[in-house]
Structure 1
């Protein structure tokens, strides 16, 4: 009996020691967002971060570092210490597009995936009072006028690529006008600086609602109509790009971050994503919560890198 008691005590002490040595953040966690406050990425990051604190046990502080189509923030992210005190959001395919450019300041291998947060479908939008009532109206006008203008969230950024996919598949030319991010490109459309834009469902969700909506969605980059926009045709229905295209937004840490740190965040964000209150908060915000663990998100990053090399690169030749 004494021997059994000693064994139980030893097991308890070992368990306590293991729990005591388990990694957790030592202070506030910096969360790098490579776009300005109020952007789609920023909005989603703040919803998730505020509710993840319950499972992380520390305050998550959003650090907006906009500029250069995301390069400023992501360069700072890959250069941060891999100590778990700095994490960040990346946007796909923009991150992988920039990473595959000649003389890129970072590579996909410079980050370690933690989890995917959102997956958002692309849309084509115009002002609510635009003369273009349908996607065909817009395409027909663009074929007659190659100077038609579209705002983007940066050169070769995700929404620029969406406009390129539309133009290439519909065989028209246009002028892409880059802005600092999605919030700015949508403001440009609302202020009549451009004729159309491509963004994500969540980006335009609040601008197409109510008695006096500001924008109108003409088409979605999806193989099937979206539940949120049942009356909006897919591009494929209209005879244009017939595959899904959009953006994934997920969390990564700098290369060199220990596995125990990565595992801590994977577990914490998984619990966050499964929390009913978190699920409801995302629904209210019009955000498509799509949790993937580090392995699945890593596979997605690899797939997007291939997509950028094989498809996106050809769009800009």
Structure 2
């Protein structure tokens, strides 16, 4: 009798169901993934690979939306202003995002985003064309000391690869001319076409173009304290007596500020499953991409660390 009474009350709406008994949050439609660089860029390639692999764990299509321009500021501003309902997430690049965020009057701020997870960690490298007369980084540095008009392409003013060029130049004691482009893809095209003499990028951006029978680029140095397994014959900047620490970029997923915790938790778990999936790991290895999963709390600590680094590194420009 009591059971019938309870059911009748439930149907009539007189009994409220506790929130804990509700189904867990999941997106109700396709998810927009904002990439602040053009299609074909390093960030875009990694984002599309992750989006395709994550769909089975998210349960809805993840659609990469390229919003390039202003060294990433346009896309990241759009991301931070999106409705915090879980239907829009996006990639940020560290330290580019934090470096731009600490500049005066910047539209960007770490307070306008919520961490989800880190996707990739990419080590910086110094590259020239494969047919360049400079066979070693020592050769390039010696030339740069004699000729301060050497040109280096960057992925934007004070963006990650510009910072790398500055770290190299300052530690090696030479001057050069930095030529900004809209992103890594355009930056490397400029090097390929001979518009500049050298560049700094990430291993994943240039590895495939620096090996094989007809390489396009030659990698002269790695921003690390030990040699990379995929580049055993390429010295680190540290062993050459230049910049003595690891430097590179992290590519991470975030949501607009105000996104509820249950939505963030859903994505953390979905991407954790994706980035530990054997098929996905193999797909990343084939693409030359190094997975470095960090959950939302670990990513929050990394963003804070990178913000402090950015405040210091802006002093070298």
Quickly name the TM-score band, shorter chain normalised: over 0.9
- The CA distance in 1 between the partners of 2:134 and 2:17, in whole Å, is 66
Task: Give the TM-score normalised by the residue count of structure 2.
Answer: 0.94
Superposition CA RMSD, Å: 1.7
Check if 1:211 corresponds to 2:208: no
Check if 1:254 corresponds to 2:256: yes
Give the equivalent residue in structure 2 for 1:49. 51
Listed as ranges, the gaps of 5+ residues in structure 2 are 7-15
Listed as ranges, the gaps of 5+ residues in structure 1 are 7-13
Q: Say which of 77, 80, 83 aligns to 1:81.
A: 83
Give the equivalent residue in structure 2 for 1:25. 27
Cα offset, 1:45, TM superposition: 0.3
- The CA distance in 2 between the partners of 1:17 and 1:192, in whole Å, is 62
Check if 1:166 corresponds to 2:165: no
Give the equivalent residue in structure 1 for 2:65. 63
**Structure 1 residue runs of 4 or more that deviate by more than 3 Å after TM superposition:** 14-20
- The CA distance in 2 between the partners of 1:96 and 1:288, in whole Å, is 21
1:5-29 CA-partner distances (Å, limit 9, x unpaired): x9xxxxxxx9998564311001000
- The CA distance in 2 between the partners of 1:19 and 1:142, in whole Å, is 66
- The CA distance in 2 between the partners of 1:89 and 1:292, in whole Å, is 14
Alpha-carbon distance change, 172 to 106 in structure 1, aligned in 2, over 3 angstroms: same
Give the equivalent residue in structure 1 for 2:190. 188
Give the equivalent residue in structure 1 for 2:244. 242
Give the equivalent residue in structure 2 for 1:303. 305
- The CA distance in 2 between the partners of 1:38 and 1:82, in whole Å, is 28
Task: Give the TM-score normalised by the residue count of structure 1.
Answer: 0.94
Give the equivalent residue in structure 2 for 1:315. 316
1:219-249 CA-partner distances (Å, limit 9, x unpaired): 0000000001000000011110010000000
1:5-60 CA-partner distances (Å, limit 9, x unpaired): x9xxxxxxx99985643110010000000000000000000010000000000000
- The CA distance in 1 between the partners of 2:226 and 2:54, in whole Å, is 32
For these two proteins, the number of residue pairs brought into alignment is 305
1:59-95 CA-partner distances (Å, limit 9, x unpaired): 0000000110000000000000100000000000000
Give the equivalent residue in structure 2 for 1:221. 223
- The CA distance in 2 between the partners of 1:19 and 1:212, in whole Å, is 60
Check if 1:291 corresponds to 2:293: yes
